[in-house]
Amino acid sequence: MTSLPFKTDPKLDLVLERNIDVPVDLVWKAWTTPEHLKHWFVPKPWTVTECDIDLRPGGMFRSVMRGPNGEEFTNLGCYLDVVPNKRLVFTDTLLPDYRPAPNPFFTAYLLLDGKGDSTRYTAVALHGNEETRKKHEDMGFHDGWGTVLTQMVEFIKAGFKPT
């Protein structure tokens, strides 16, 4: 079983854990392939209009999210750790190639533990202070990340073709 290399702190961290009934390799592909990620990564009716992934430590993760009224938000960050089908760690605290970001918000750990056709899915958002954690929770972390997880499972079950 994949585990966190630290103890979570409820004052700083937000955690989403769920058993999902899709294989870990498809979860990994959905998370690491831009054309797949665009289908589920934001709660509908929001969409992802652009996504770039350089899947390596120091590599770029960039997405552009568009709201139903045309508003757009760009997310830019850096992968810290990439272990296929096990662990994906990324942050907006650093930009690609480990350059410091001007407005850091959080670091995310995605842990996957596959067992046959199911996966234990754990997502942790780590924050630098209690205020940022609360802001993320108030923005709807649990509902939002839970919704996109459900959307991802539905996307996988609909028969997407991994590349």
Domains of the chain: 13-157 (3.30.530.20)
Largest CA distance in the chain: 42
pLDDT score at 77: 97
Alpha carbon dihedral 147, 35, 23, 77, in 10-degree steps, equals: -70
Give the dihedral sign, CA 19/106/76/89: negative
The residue among 24, 82, 93 whose CA lies nearest residue 54 is 82
pLDDT of the residue at 111: 97
Spans of the chain below 50 pLDDT? none
Closest by CA to 90, choosing from 46, 126, 38, 121, is 126
Helix runs in 11-162, H state only: 24-32, 34-37, 130-138, 141-157
- Single pTM value for the model: 0.93
H helix runs in the chain, sequence order: 24-32, 34-37, 130-138, 141-157
* Per-residue pLDDT at 159: 86
pLDDT score for 163: 63
pLDDT of residue 6: 85
